[in-house]
A and B are shown apart, each in its own frame.
Chain A
């Protein structure tokens, strides 16, 4: 079992090296980003504890994939397998547990421990063969696949908006909209097989326009319930709702461009840093968007022309 964890550690280090940074620096960056994000989260909403539990369970649930677990079962005996699963789940959720305890969220911490133990003992098939209906079937593929993977987040986001309305916490409602935007951004984190770009009978510029247009239209569809509810219950803040929506759209377009700026490769450290800086300093977008756009056109020319 020690060998297994040593191997996992090696694989993690290789991943960080693939990002182009030494593992030690990588761990430090992750720690800083995690600290800053959770700190910010706890400062803006009293529901941060629940969010923390959900995100941690989301992470650990990825370790419960049936294929992965079948493989582990074929290597280890039942007792070792269960110990290993519990240990890796606890290790993955440890940062979140520390944060919860630090902020005094004892109940949520216990809830998380219970969740990861259950997740370790049972595994859940997240690859259901039942076709989940989506409203995006006519324009595959990013939102079709993304929605089917993350569909459970949307009712949760709308619930947050409902809580925001019932408690009169407008910022929480905006955070819910940002959550939807972040989820939509994740649909563009990996490049598709070049065959699906090659097939387009479009120029690179038209191709990018089509991709951005469909991304924003689909995001609008998912955000409409939030926007309408917030504008209705906080009428004086309607301009802020519209502005927030616009900001989300700009960032979504940036993410689409960032993806194709290195196509067919996966966005690397350089793109992530640029996007990260753009989140902190939105003015940087004035330079980031044209840069990603021109890089995308160059990369797509090789495939589309």
Chain B
């Protein structure tokens, strides 16, 4: 369980998170949706301890970060490092020994090639594979479906379901509502740094309609397309 109480974050005078209160339970998949700049990534960075913040983030773990697998929106890779070495680096950092990396290559990535030769989707799949092999208890996946092909999306959805069945905590952000609806138990709507709505599975349809209405509004008319 991760509990967030009155979490606020400022960048100078700009408030990015405003008194966020949330709970992420074990064995559940939590979706976070919101427009670009709503504060989703900052929220994730605060949970990971990569940002200082006001408020409280507590968990069942002594040090949450040591049990947390973080998939950033745009994972960073070194030049001249192979996929296998990247996985090795992340697994080593958790003091784990990894044997037969190839057998765990669920996305069939060319692990002996430099990551710099990978496509955007392949990089995302590699980063995900690495954090899965870290044997984490909590997963934060920031836009995991972005740039990933359809076939891998199916695999990804099944991986998320498997993590839930293993009693892990999974937090996902995505702009693709259908994938969130397929995987999440709860979806939290963020707007301007605040949590404005939480929807249970049965209300996902209503939430999507509300979001569409709110987001689209009369924007298209503004274009005055002819």
Q: Interface of A with B (CB < 8 Å)?
A: 127, 129, 131-132, 137-141, 144-145, 148-149, 192-196, 198-202, 303-305
Contacts and interface: CB of A to CB of B under 8 A. Distances in A.
Contacts of A148: 80
A264 B90 CA distance: 18
Interface of B: 48-50, 63, 65-66, 70, 72, 75-76, 78-82, 84-86, 88-90, 92-95, 112-114, 116-117, 134
Given A127-B116, A199-B134, 12 more contacts: A129-B114, A131-B112, A140-B85, A140-B88, A140-B89, A140-B92, A141-B89, A145-B81, A196-B89, A201-B66, A303-B50, A304-B65
Contacts of B66: 201
30 contacts: A127-B79, A127-B116, A129-B113, A129-B116, A129-B117, A131-B113, A131-B114, A132-B80, A137-B82, A137-B85, A138-B88, A139-B88, A139-B92, A140-B86, A140-B88, A140-B89, A141-B89, A144-B80, A144-B85, A193-B76, A194-B50, A195-B75, A198-B48, A198-B50, A198-B70, A199-B93, A199-B134, A201-B63, A201-B66, A202-B93
B91 to A, nearest CB: 10
Nearest to A139: B92
B88 A137 contact: yes
Contact of A201 (B80, B93, B117): B93
Given A137-B85, A201-B93, A195 B78 contact: no
A196 B85 contact: no
A200 B80 CA distance: 21
B57 to A, nearest CB: 14
A201 B86 contact: no
A201 B95 contact: yes
A140 B116 contact: no
B88 to A, nearest CB: 6
Q: Which 3 A-B pairs have the closest CB atoms?
A: A201-B66, A140-B89, A193-B76
Nearest to B127: A195
B114 A141 contact: no
Contacts of A193: 76
Contacts of B114: 129, 131
A184 to B, nearest CB: 16
Contacts of A196: 76, 89, 93
A303 B45 CA distance: 11
A131 B92 CA distance: 21
Given A129-B114, A194-B50, A198-B65, A141 B78 contact: yes
Nearest to A147: B80
A305 B49 CA distance: 8
A304 B82 CA distance: 25
Contacts of B93: 196, 199-202
Contacts of B81: 140-141, 144-145
A149 B80 contact: yes
Contacts of B88: 137-140
Contacts of A145: 78-81
Contacts of B89: 140-141, 196
Contacts of B85: 137, 140-141, 144
B180 to A, nearest CB: 24
Please indicate which of the listed interface residues A138, A200, A303 has the most CB atoms of chain B within 10 Å of its own CB.
Answer: A200
A167 to B, nearest CB: 35
Contacts of B78: 141, 145, 192
Contacts of A141: 78, 81, 85, 89
A138 B90 CA distance: 11
B223 to A, nearest CB: 33
A303 B116 CA distance: 27
Nearest to B69: A199
Contacts of B82: 131, 137
A129 B85 CA distance: 15
A127 B80 CA distance: 8
Contact of B63 (A144, A149, A195, A305): A305
B80 A199 contact: no
Contacts of B76: 193, 195-196
Given A144-B81, A195-B72, A201 B49 contact: no
A137 to B, nearest CB: 6
A199 B91 CA distance: 9
Contacts of B84: 137
Contacts of B65: 198, 201, 304
Contacts of B48: 198
Contacts of A200: 93-94
A137 B79 CA distance: 14
